[in-house]
Amino acid sequence: MIWLCVLVAIVGGLVFRGRKKLARKPNISAHIPELLDILLVLIRAGHGPATSVAQLHYWAHKDLYKPLIQAHTQLLNGTRFADVIQTLRTELGTSFYPLCDILLSADRDGLPITSVLDQLAYHSHLERQRMQDIAARQLPVKLLFPLTCCILPSFVLLAMVPLLVNSLTVVSGQLF
């Protein structure tokens, strides 16, 4: 029984390590709502799209820091804003496409973008909430392995074994 518990603990540790390594991959789409909120604050403070993008790296999440600091240095070096946004679009992936399109059209046409960014931020917050609800629904399934392999055997050892030993001593005392 002890060897079985040790084996289960080792296998559980390996599975936990494997999941932890998989979780280290940056999830850029999870940080888009905060990025949109920061961008909205910068735009409402009077900055244009180019200066707002150049300042995003100060407050962005660490997963977004490298591409945003590259965009900042490109803008400082005189690269066109459209080219910087295209490189951001390729580096950050499909979840960043709507924001890139809005920034490009605002820079090209000079139209106010606060209402469009508000709508995009609202929908990205709803999407993040939906993803968190999905993760919360998957949590009982993920906790099933530790429950069955760690808590239930300890319950058997602590609650059932003393009762079994006690009943065996009573029965053996009556037989002899």
Domain count, the chain: 1
Q: Which of these ranges, 14-23, 85-94, 131-140, 165-174, has the smallest mean pLDDT? A: 14-23
We report the CATH number of the domain holding residue 114 as 1.20.81
Residues 61-78 have a mean pLDDT of 94
C-alpha–C-alpha distance, residues 33 and 86, integer Å? 20
C-alpha–C-alpha distance, residues 15 and 37, integer Å? 37
pLDDT more than 90, % of the chain? 51
Asked if residue 68 has pLDDT above 80, the reply is: yes
- 149 in any annotated domain: no
Predicted confidence at residue 25, as pLDDT, reads 63
Long-range pairs for 103-112: beta carbons < 8 A, 24 or more residues apart: 103/49, 103/53, 106/49, 107/48, 107/49, 107/50, 107/81, 107/82, 108/82
Predicted confidence at residue 5, as pLDDT, reads 66
- 1 in any annotated domain: no
Angle at 10 between CA 5 and CA 13, to 5 degrees: 120
